């Protein structure tokens, strides 16, 4: 059977009813586009220039910095603009490691590829790297963390919200343990910022990285919050960003970042800090789990009483493992293609992992492997992640489309 022709992306940027890949990136909101257009017209100059054009750009840059710090509860932190979260993560880990003698970095086995890459760089520089065990939901072992907060550990880095299986780590407990031991803690908050109210000072984190494009802002800008007084060795020399990140600052992108976070916080505050996307996600998840061969990976949503638990799932996130009706694992990447033929954009694993070579992927998802899935199932993950551009009617066709994609794969499998 000849598969249907793959549809092209919709011509209108407003037709986003089939875009279900918010964890990879999100479309810029209309408000963000307007703010950036205005900034491009009025604050296009180099903010380091001393004339009036430069001063106007510098003023907008510093207003943006101050507002982002305020929104993120970072009164005791410095905010450093970077090109994105991957650079921010490298600056956090390599920058802090460069200030102390080699020791041990503690991470989890479910970190983002940027953290893994930074850890591999530290290994080459004489550091040791320890990986905390996680349970079948992807939640770290706090007892193991406590035992590892002894010499030679000098730094802990943890992903707060896991992009592939949706796990939210017990960050408050992690932070308390690290503070008691005097060990700096870096938090990768990329998937969390915009989906819950963040107070960096109250959390007690030393370093926190995030990016704009996951919450309706522009690509090309991220930030690192650094606890004031914590030393960092710059990775890119230059006088900008307090000498910690050289290069002409992206004033227009910073303004867009502010607008995106303002809009996200407005949605959160309308429900007392809860993400309204959970109300979209939960009915869809229930319907998907009724399909044959479809099971949930990562933690089940637990926010049943209006409270965010310590161990929970990102509110806009669904992750599945898909098999045939007879239990044979189906390739997630082929399911992604099959769903796109029906006009739905989803993913299999994180976007940054998807572009890695097959050899570096080890034949499947390292995250699912860490959760204890058999090797045969580690290529069968599917991720659906929702954004505020969606409504319940947009999701009505998703279960049927997944069932069709699953059936098509079964039909085309060798020996069928």
Q: Kindly list the catalytic residues.
A: 352
Structure token digits, residue 70 = 């305020």
**Residues facing 167 on adjacent strands:** 313
Q: 397 burial class (0-12, 13-18, 19+ CB within 10 angstroms)?
A: middle
Contact 319, 383 (CB under 8 A): yes
Rounded to 10 degrees, the C-alpha dihedral 151/155/161/166 comes to -50
Task: Give the whole-angstrom CA distance, residue 267 versus residue 28.
Answer: 16
Task: Give the whole-angstrom CA distance, residue 257 versus residue 194.
Answer: 11
Contact 246, 234 (CB under 8 A): yes
Structure token digits, residue 36 = 């950036």
Name the helix (H) or strand (E) containing 368: helix 366-370
Task: Give the whole-angstrom CA distance, residue 69 versus residue 250.
Answer: 17
């Amino acid at each position: 059977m000849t598969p249907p022709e793959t549809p092209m992306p919709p011509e209108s940027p407003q037709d986003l009813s089939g875009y279900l890949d918010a964890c990879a990136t999100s479309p810029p909101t209309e408000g963000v586009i307007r703010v950036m257009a205005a900034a491009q017209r009025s604050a296009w100059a180099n903010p380091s220039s001393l004339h009036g054009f430069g001063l106007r750009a510098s003023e907008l840059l510093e207003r943006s910095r101050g507002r982002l710090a305020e929104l993120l509860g970072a009164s005791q932190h410095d905010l450093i603009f970077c090109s994105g979260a991957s650079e921010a993560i490298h600056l956090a880990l390599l920058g802090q490691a460069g200030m102390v003698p080699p020791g041990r970095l503690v991470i989890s086995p479910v970190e983002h590829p940027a953290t893994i890459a930074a850890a591999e760089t530290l290994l080459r520089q004489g550091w040791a790297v320890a990986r905390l065990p996680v349970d079948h939901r992807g939640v770290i072992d706090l007892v193991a963390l406590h035992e590892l907060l002894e010499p030679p550990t000098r730094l802990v880095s943890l992903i707060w919200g896991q992009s592939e299986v949706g796990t939210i780590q017990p960050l408050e407990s992690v932070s308390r343990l690290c503070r008691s031991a005097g060990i700096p803690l870096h938090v990768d908050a990329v998937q969390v910022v915009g989906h819950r109210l963040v107070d960096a000072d109250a959390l007690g984190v030393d370093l926190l990285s995030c990016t704009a494009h996951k919450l309706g802002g522009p690509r090309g800008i991220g930030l690192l919050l650094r606890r004031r007084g914590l030393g960092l060795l710059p990775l890119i020399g230059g006088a900008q960003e307090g000498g910690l990140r050289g290069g002409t600052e992206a004033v227009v992108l910073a303004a867009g970042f502010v607008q995106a976070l303002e809009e996200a916080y407005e949605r959160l505050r309308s429900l007392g800090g809860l993400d309204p996307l959970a109300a979209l996600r939960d009915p869809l998840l229930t319907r998907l789990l009724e399909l044959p061969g479809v099971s949930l990976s990562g933690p089940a949503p637990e926010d049943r009483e209006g409270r965010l638990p310590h161990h929970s799932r990102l509110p806009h996130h669904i992750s599945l493992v898909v098999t045939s009706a007879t239990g044979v694992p189906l390739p997630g990447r082929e399911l992604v293609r099959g769903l796109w033929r029906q006009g739905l954009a989803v993913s299999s694993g994180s976007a940054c992992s998807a572009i890695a070579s097959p050899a570096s992927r080890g034949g499947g998802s390292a995250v699912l492997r860490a959760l204890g899935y058999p090797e045969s199932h580690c290529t069968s993950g599917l991720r659906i992640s929702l954004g505020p551009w969606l409504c319940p009617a947009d999701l009505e066709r998703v279960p049927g489309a997944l069932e069709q994609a699953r059936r098509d794969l079964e039909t085309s499998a060798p020996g069928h």
